[in-house]
Structure 1
């Protein structure tokens, strides 16, 4: 008896099928029942069978997928394949065939090593085998095709499919995709046997004659394949009864009416039409169940565009429609509502299902939020194993050898977590390699490059924008602890690569890799990590890691099985492994009974849940966007179907029908509660439901109140309380007590100032206290950033980059050596005629070719500072050339300025601190001695007028100009403090000027049509790079020095008292310091206009508002505070800012 049951209600078909199976086993205990279902529903069907049946077990009923049925029946008669190739082996074999036939291929040859391409070819070949299309049909299609692209694709597929089948036969292997074909052949053999008594071994399947077969779960999103159809025909001829189900709105009697009906049931109608041809005499009947409520009205909306809602219906309480401002808000509401349903409304986690409309977009954040809310989840999806720690470890090991120990390969290997090093040790190694720019095997294993701290880094270079007052650390001794870590991590890698390279064939390399893993104790490491993750309730990751070990062994087994004696290079071995691992995937069963089920729309449709959340119900994701069509686009598939007369399914068109059915089945299955949410413009269905049920629509507010589900977990609630003064006020006293019991203090409402106890500050700065000028400038700009950088020692990890060194150590070294050479030439001139002969010396230097000298000075600096790496061919051609050009441009400008002036270079890199000749003590209260330290790039002297004066020059990489408001408020202390320090160490010299010099290579942007001579251009470039002076008279410079010392003393006093408010300083017309600060994420400064510290404007500036007016008012304030610069008295207190 052949019977087909169809309905528009998927759950009705499922229940009917189970009831028939249970009824049959109860009425005829000696008969057998085979339930054939899709693989992913097998376990659920078994559970439902046991739940519905009065019998305590599955005795005479078996729940099988088509593939399991094939192995079940073939195994009974000893015809199961002995050497089957699974998807992993298939991918490796296809990779080999592609490379062997690269010269014959038209489109596929150059794509063989492209990531993901093997997976695409494997998918297409799987379709071809399931729909019984072979290499000959593809060749015929290529001969008939007129389009060149289709002709080339068909020929390439014919070559690959033919080569793949030939390789299987040569190796004595079979393809798992042919299992159903073999089953159909077996069933046909049984049907052809004469009589009722079958000889052995066929008699072992005699029970099929008394078997009832029920096929459920197909005819929903796709039709049966030709392979499956042949199996059904064979079972129909042998078995006592067969019942099939299909989800359809009608049973078409004519092929012309197949397309007349709802999109959601297109696959079901096609299935019914197809089965009528395959199974003559098929009895067809429809089964529907009476339904009411929300799901019935949603079904009407999906299928007919209206709800037909009766007045007074109350099913709106089952529905919630949520609009959120962001994905995090949407997922936080989901997590909080699940906790509420479980805690307050009596649901279990297993009663709840979450359907993600876009799994890739939501899954990473959902994992994090569920972890924060403490929710157990089961992710119902097939997990690719190529990203597991073990797979990354193995491929990273091989990539190290193939990429000459590149940084990406090294860190991929170490970060996999199976190298034996702790995460902290890996961080140390990575930071060391980044700071020293180490990659390539010859550099990584060169001990001399591990000097402390090694090559110049962004933190240690004396770059113009770095801290010029800090003394550089010594660079002499290799860091032995780093060398130990390096050897522990990488010597086994070096040995492993040697062993792999020594073996020439697949079998040898496979054996070597297995032995390498065994010698390193990899199995024990995998087991240890799996156990730790399981103990941390990270079951998904733990199971994946355990399965990846088994998958790797299977990949190596099949690789050796396929081509044991094939000679391969390390790259070919790696590519073959990668092709297999890229296909390896594993399913996971729930690790606990009570978990929230999470999946995409199709997998969620297969679950029965009391509460359903549909997340991401936006216009973009509901229905889901079509996936990439892959290797064969829909037009190609349709054209091949026409050319060979055999059906090849459409991927895009059929996906549209499948998605329609999935959405219909998902939203219309019985559920007590239904939630749809989106953080983007909503889907049409969402809007239609919102129009019908306006009371169910909720817009999540930006600010939560205490009843908001998003606060239904400790961590989110605490964040809200601490960030919401109005919400915290009623609970402050109670919270303060709880905090006090824990040894903590609840911060005051609105408090943004941080403080450190004075006694702790004194212990941090032992007497005598020595501060740098840049420390005080940093503190004045933002006290919190000083706390983070100096006291907490927070910093971005240093990374060696040529462009950092370009404006740092090398340029400083070149300019210093150049000026020393010039000074030696000046001192060599006869004293009486030095002033007259100096002009000729400057001309000689300006006309000289400085290229060779600059190159020599660069090499001297590089050898002294450990920067020889910059002379590697690649870096020397890029960064080295830029440094030479910048140095030459800057030297030309400096020499030209000396020629025009009477200043002569006198000191370079002059250091002042308490241990040297230059001492600068601040005017602090008694008992609080504070000295300053610093380093001045260049000092020039001028003795032409009988009195020797000096100026200080500070090198910068960017343009700087005098900001008199910053000078007045202590935000620009560097130049005046330098003047004060040098003047204090040389009382016979008088300060005359201070300036910034920009070390760069300027460019002049000419206007359209502008004509300019070389001399004029040279003059413009010199002017663009000339020093930016403070432009003050000598007496005013003395006043400024004293003012700067008092400002430095004020800042030092505040710093040492431990005051670190989160209040950065903002000057008019200047960029906020937060724009380049590395600590913004820690201070949580919100940039509110009232939160900035805005220094008071100078009195006269209010009226004049110009730069000239600012300078005049600045000088007026200085002169009032220090009337007589020659008298070293204190300024008038009321004039201090």
Structure 2
């Protein structure tokens, strides 16, 4: 029996030496077992075949300790317990936490949180590795001297006791399996007189030490590598403290066994090392952690590169360009280069994008949680959505996952309908009936059933289930019903060249089944609520990982400090060297903080790794990484994080600069060189995009970027992408004029347009293009808020007016109670139809429903009072003009010749019959802003009222008609003051006055409001009669002024119509004072209008008063324009 220790510094050749010794043993016909960490087994097999020149591994077996245990138990038997992996452990712990939550002291609040079961799993793992028992924890809790720590230890003891009680005699976890391995090794025949080689272990826990000691008792030789420098003096002796501690533990174990210890100092030959490795890197390996540190005497430090990026993305992009340069200029293979990230989760997506852009293949060496996979998340989302409440948000998350029976497009359309119709709760279980004028309900009904029927079956199955086994069976039946397995198989088959995606996808279905199987095995007879089942499966999915092996030979490996293993690297890139430690971020693993573990260790009880051990391991991991490359080392750090917060470089950066005084720091603050810019077409286009935009805004473009543009123009494969980028950057500088067909103007002259469309064009031609040309609309939602109820008020008052007109009853003759009853009855027919019961399902909904009824009653009462006090009669409600409607289209001449026919719908027309003809007033109901502005009419922003009045005057029968007024009727609750001198009734009447223009004719005004027979203020119009009989008020205009306003509206309508027909589609929003058309615009993300861009101009209107606008219109009319 012999313990052979191969000791040496990093890069001394220990791993190569152990591989050579394995080859010698195998060549002699003796069994050789190579034990490495689980994540390195694949790489170890490749290294053996490459370095030993083997085509296979006959006589050599690469194992992890876990796989060794499996192999031993397969021969010796003796393990009757069912193996419990990490997934099963987390399910058990989640169940324990649910049951014991109220008994916990320190962790009661955290027990139900997502991820807490994972922290408990870390605690259980370390407690078992260090041989802790609940009894020891309780003893330490009583004498630790810290109240909070004592409470934590009590909780840990309770959790650990329950977990071990669950395992007892039935199950065995990974640490228990290693403990059982120690007991079974003496009975294992294939290990007797075998040769075992151990390499790459970064931690010898007491449990691993016990396994190695057991191997020493039966094997002919156990060989292990240790990073220890026995040479004296050693100026970086502290760097090897961890492995020196492991060496002493192994020697003690060998002494107990009576095993011979042979120490082999592995040192490379100086000449051979200098021939293989750059002198700067040789110096750096010796001096980076030495004290005192010696500076490099050579002038050339080209083998080491230091980069300071403005952020993590800049680091990733720089590494990608440098990798491509080394491959092109220095002939390195991609597999000879690696990237190590101090924070792999943050840097991996950035690196993947940057490397793909320059055409460099890469493999991200990490396992991702199963919960990150859409199919696994579908399982959890189905449980959330099947709770019986059928919340639209949960249903849509399920549908958009892509595995619930609907495509992404179908899910989007169904969501649009659900928002429009206000589907919520039990409404999802009923056939769709509302909105047939907007949606194809027959198709939507098929999709609804496809989504909801399996989910309802799952809901009923979970309700009927008496235990976890029946719940899992119901869930499995749901997955079969939606065809999840077939969908995953089809996606894996369609992956094409993306072998990594196909490999990961192939694991998902097996992983889901494994989770369900373990749930049944572990918790089958127990009763759990669906919510508890969901939490248990969430914890299981958090603990289950999806991992793949490299699918190509020549690719760059991207890994973390703890998962990177590439002994023969020519170049290495170390990213993220910031003050978080310049290492994998230290998460608080387990339930005890590092300081608490240190306190217990100082008292003689080691329950987990101490801070000193963690720091030593991570500092050594950094040392290993920096010592690994042979020709090139690139280190980088970020000056700020992704949110722009400043960050400091890690301590290692100062060490690099001190060890290599001539090392210069590069940065992306300086412009890229032409070589960097033109490194790859994708990179060139990426860097060129912002410069194209800057040039379009008037800034210059450097010669190197001009060269990049010319290069892309010369490449046929990239010419189209460049042209799209150029168009994107310069489209506002050279606005295109589209055809009328593209703008949605179909057919031949005369062209028909709505007044609403003209007003949209007046606000912004591009907004008009998107709304009417492309037909893009914001999602319509059945909103239970003030704007949503405003639309209902509009319909309610119109239906009430139509009922009066068609039913032959007059507003002014109804009693208040009867009018309110009719109003409420109408509201009861409108609300369910719009909101499909949604209003009644919440307190806010009921409040808004009552408020809607109240406002509708108030508006109806105000309308009745106005009609009662007026000689005007309600003649038309929702009167259409244009098309097949009762009134003909309003023909508007176009500047330069031709005409356009306008159509629209007038909310209400009142008529006053007189001996000289009919006087007409047009009313438009407004639930929002009801102010009338002559400036808006003059500039063509709001021409609806005068255009509608023009249509009524020109289209209604009768020879003599004149305008009496045009007004907005506000549909809203007024803001009343209890402290005002006026009564609440007078305030209500004043707030409900019609807003607009009225003809300054005393007879008409008195006819409009009988209260003006004498003198005083009108409760219907914002006017007042004076003693002399004249009227005053801002709403009054003369007949000539009224005519000028109507003419101006028609002129602006013609101007806008011509602009539409000419194809104007500029992003040219109007600006008036502080207002711009971009405010509350639904299409800002499409046009990308940027006020800072010199090409982005607004149509700024001059300042002026209402009187000035009226005077300008009157002057224009008199001049015959």
The TM-score range, normalised by the shorter chain, is: 0.7 to 0.9
Corresponding residue of 1:1074: 1078
Q: 1:633 to 1:739 in 2, by over 3 A?
A: closer
Partner of 2:778: 796
Q: Paired residue for 1:177?
A: 175
**Structure 1 match to 2:827:** 858
Q: Measure, in 2, the Cα distance between the counterparts of 1:47 and 1:864.
A: 69
Distance in 1 (CA, whole Å) between partners of 2:710 and 2:115 is 57
2: CA distance, partners of 1:371 / 1:942: 76
Inter-partner Cα distance in structure 1 for 2:924 and 2:612: 70
Q: Which residue of 2 aligns with 1:323?
A: 309
What is the match of residue 559 of structure 1? 519
Q: 1:676-1075 to 2 correspondence within 5 Å? A: 676=636, 678=638, 680=640, 681=647, 683-684=649-650, 685-686=652-653, 692-693=661-662, 695-700=664-669, 707-708=676-677, 712-713=681-682, 716=686, 719=689, 723=693, 735=713, 751-757=733-739, 764-765=746-747, 768-803=750-785, 806-816=788-798, 855-862=824-831, 868-872=837-841, 874=843, 876-884=845-853, 886-887=855-856, 907-918=876-887, 919-924=889-894, 928-939=898-909, 949-959=919-929, 961=931, 966-986=936-956, 988-996=960-968, 998-1001=970-973, 1012-1013=979-980, 1015=982, 1029=996, 1031=1035, 1033-1034=1037-1038, 1035-1061=1040-1066, 1063-1075=1067-1079
**After superposition, what is the alpha-carbon deviation per residue over 1:986-1021, rounded to whole angstroms, capped at 9, x for unaligned?**
5744335445455444658x9xxxx93585788778
SS of 1:355's equivalent in the other structure is strand
Distance apart, 1:1039 and its partner CA: 0.9
| 1:217 aligns with one of 200, 206, 224 | 200
Pair 1:488–1:759, CA change in 2 (3 A): closer
- Aligned match for 2:1112, one of 1078, 1094, 1117: 1117
402-411 vs 770-779, which moves further: 402-411
Aligned to 2:123: 124
Q: What CA distance in whole angstroms lies between the structure 2 residues aligned with 1:998 and 1:370?
A: 60
C-alpha displacement of 1:588: 1.4
495, 503, 525: which one pairs with 1:543?
503
Q: CA deviation at 1:359?
A: 2.8
Residues 127-183 of structure 1, C-alpha deviations (whole Å, 9 max, x = no match): 11111112222233344455454344333333332332232235x332232122112
What is the aligned partner in structure 2 of residue 504 from structure 1? 466
1:358-757 matched pairs, under 5 angstroms: 358-440=343-425, 442-453=426-437, 479-518=441-480, 521-533=483-495, 535=496, 537-604=497-564, 608-619=568-579, 622-641=582-601, 645-650=604-609, 654-675=613-634, 676=636, 678=638, 680=640, 681=647, 683-684=649-650, 685-686=652-653, 692-693=661-662, 695-700=664-669, 707-708=676-677, 712-713=681-682, 716=686, 719=689, 723=693, 735=713, 751-757=733-739
- 1:1032 and 1:688 map into 2 onto residues whose CA distance is 84
Q: Compared with structure 1, are the counterparts of its residues 500 and 871 closer, same or farther at alpha carbon in structure 2 (3 Å cutoff)?
A: closer
Q: Describe the superposition over 1:634-653 as per-residue Cα deviations: whole angstroms up to 9, x where unpaired.
A: 3443455466x431124766
C-alpha separation in 2, matches of 1:825 and 1:305: 101
- Aligned equivalents of 2:1099, 2:540: Cα separation in 1: 66
SS in 2 for 1:1058: coil
Which one of 192, 201, 208 corresponds to residue 228 of structure 1? 208
Using the TM superposition, give the Cα deviation of residue 480 of structure 1 relative to its aligned residue in structure 2, in angstroms. Answer: 0.8
Instruction: State the aligned residue count.
Output: 1045
Report if the CA contact (8 A) 1:208-1:239 is conserved: yes
What displacement does 1:710 show?
Answer: 7.2
Whether contact under 8 Å (1:690, 1:696) holds in the other structure is no
Shift of 1:1123: 0.5
Which residue is 2:1090 aligned to? 1086
1:308-339 alpha-carbon deviations (Å, 9 max, x no partner): 44455222364251524x55555444444444
Q: Which whole-Å deviations, capped at 9, do the CAs of 1:547-571 have from their partners, x for residues lacking one? A: 1211222223323323443345544
> 2:114 maps to what in 1?
115
User: 1:271 aligned to 2:246?
Assistant: yes
Q: CA deviation at 1:1055?
A: 0.8
**CA offsets per residue over residues 754-813 of structure 1, 9 Å max, x none?**
232357668734555321112112112221221122111223333332226634332113
CA distance in 1, matches of 2:179, 2:450: 53
Q: Which residue number in structure 2 is paired with residue 37 of structure 1?
A: 36
Q: In the superposition, relative to structure 1, how do residues 103 and 532 fare at CA in structure 2: closer, same or farther (>3 Å)?
A: same
- Report deviation, 1:266: 4.5
Q: Kindly tell me: are residues 393 and 604 of structure 1, through their superposed partners in 2, closer, same or farther at Cα, counting changes over 3 Å?
A: same
Q: CA RMSD in A?
A: 4.4
Tell me the residue number matched to 2:224: 244
Deviations for 1:1034-1053, whole angstroms, at most 9, x for unmatched residues? Answer: 42232122112122112111
1:344-365 CA distance string (max 9 Å, x none):
5433332332223333333344
CA distance 1:789–1:301, change in 2 (3 Å): farther
* Paired residue secondary structure (2:572): strand
The alpha-carbon distance between structure 1 residues 914 and 136, as it changes in their structure 2 partners (threshold 3 A), is same
| SS of residue paired to 1:363 | helix
TM-score, length-normalised on structure 1? 0.81
Question: What residue ranges of structure 2 are gaps of 5+ in the alignment?
Answer: 641-646, 998-1034
1:125, distance to aligned residue in structure 2 (A): 0.9
Residue 358 to residue 954, structure 1, CA distance change in 2 (3 Å): farther
What is residue 184 of structure 2 aligned with on the other side? 186
Normalised by the size of structure 2, how large is the TM-score? 0.82
- The alpha-carbon distance between structure 1 residues 651 and 1078, as it changes in their structure 2 partners (threshold 3 A), is farther
- How far 1:683 moved relative to its partner? 1.2
Secondary structure of the residue aligned to 1:813 is helix
The equivalent residue for 2:135 is: 136
Aligned mates of 1:567, 1:916 — CA distance in 2: 67
Q: Distance in 2 between matches of 1:43 and 1:346?
A: 26
Shift of 1:937: 3.8
Residue equivalent to 1:464? none
Partners of 1:67 and 1:741 lie apart in 2 by 54
Contact 1:951 1:994 in 2 (8 A): yes
Q: Structure 1 residues 574, 267: CA separation in 2 closer, same or farther (over 3 Å shift)?
A: same
Cα 1:811/1:967, change in 2 over 3 Å: same
Question: For the residues of structure 2 that align with 1:303 and 1:596, how far apart are their CA atoms?
Answer: 28
1:490-525 Cα offsets, whole Å, 9 max, x none, are: 323333444454443344444454455456554332
The answer to whether the 8 Å contact 2:6/2:266 transfers is: yes
> 1:1066–1:1093: 8 Å Cα contact kept in structure 2?
no
Q: The residue matched to 2:289 in structure 1 has which SS?
A: helix
State the alpha-carbon separation in 2 of the partners of residues 574 and 740 from structure 1.
Answer: 49
